[in-house]
């Protein structure tokens, strides 16, 4: 069962991400956090891992210090959120997208299975939204995107390979594999 600590994390995440929306649909961003958390719970994640899922983007996207996160939720949650963070707000201005993604992939090999479960759930939710947007808007959505379909596909394939090697064929990994295939089919033109 989930305790008051989970409720505290849910309120914290909702407040921190107030006003933030998903890229193409302007859906409140908290929907992504809730969906990520739901996958973690459905995969058997414990309360600590579920809280990490709710807070997984707070260091990247919102003005939150590492000490504040530790003080509010403890070292166990902090470690999961840290492991899910490709770069905090300061690093985002100094590093390129490629540098952030490569560094994160390098760190992912040494993180806990709890952290990998949150990363897997996050990637499933993000890629599902992207696939849904491709169905709605077609590949033209990349005309206004900061990343190309090929760049995104590279990152999702790399993450999938790492997750599959560490987590095996858990349902969340199998789901990510199916989404990568669907994304490839929709977004990357195939030679005829």
Q: Which residues contact 181 (CB under 8 A, 6 or more apart)?
A: none
Q: Is 114 within 8 Å of 52 (Cβ atoms)?
A: yes
> Which residue, among 52, 48, 47, has the nearest Cα to 33 in the 3D structure?
52
Q: List active site positions.
A: 60-61
> Which residue, among 188, 43, 66, has the nearest Cα to 113 in the 3D structure?
43
Taking CA atoms, 163 is separated from 26, 38, 108, 136, 184, in Å, by 29, 19, 9, 29, 19
Count the alpha carbons within 13 Å of 4 in the hemisphere toward its beta carbon: 1
In angstroms, rounded to a whole number, what is the distance separating the alpha carbons of residues 98 and 69?
Answer: 27
Cα-Cα-Cα-Cα dihedral sign, residues 95, 89, 49, 169: negative
């Amino acid at each position: 069962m989930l305790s008051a600590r989970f409720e505290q994390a849910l309120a914290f995440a909702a407040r921190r991400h107030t006003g933030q929306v998903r890229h193409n649909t302007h859906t409140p961003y908290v929907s992504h956090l809730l969906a990520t958390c739901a996958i973690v719970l459905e995969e058997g994640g414990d309360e600590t891992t579920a809280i990490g899922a709710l807070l997984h983007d707070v260091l990247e996207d919102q003005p939150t210090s590492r000490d504040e996160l530790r003080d509010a939720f403890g070292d166990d949650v902090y470690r999961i959120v840290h492991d899910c963070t490709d770069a905090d707000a300061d690093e985002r201005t100094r590093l390129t997208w490629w540098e952030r993604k490569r560094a994160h992939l390098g760190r992912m090999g040494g993180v806990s299975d709890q952290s990998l479960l949150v990363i897997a759930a996050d990637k499933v939710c993000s890629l599902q939204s992207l696939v849904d947007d491709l169905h709605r808007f077609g590949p033209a959505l990349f005309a206004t995107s900061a990343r190309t379909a090929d760049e995104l596909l590279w990152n999702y394939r790399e993450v999938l390979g790492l997750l599959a090697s560490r987590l095996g064929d858990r349902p969340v990994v199998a789901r990510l594999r199916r989404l990568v295939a669907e994304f490839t089919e929709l977004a990357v033109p195939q030679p005829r």
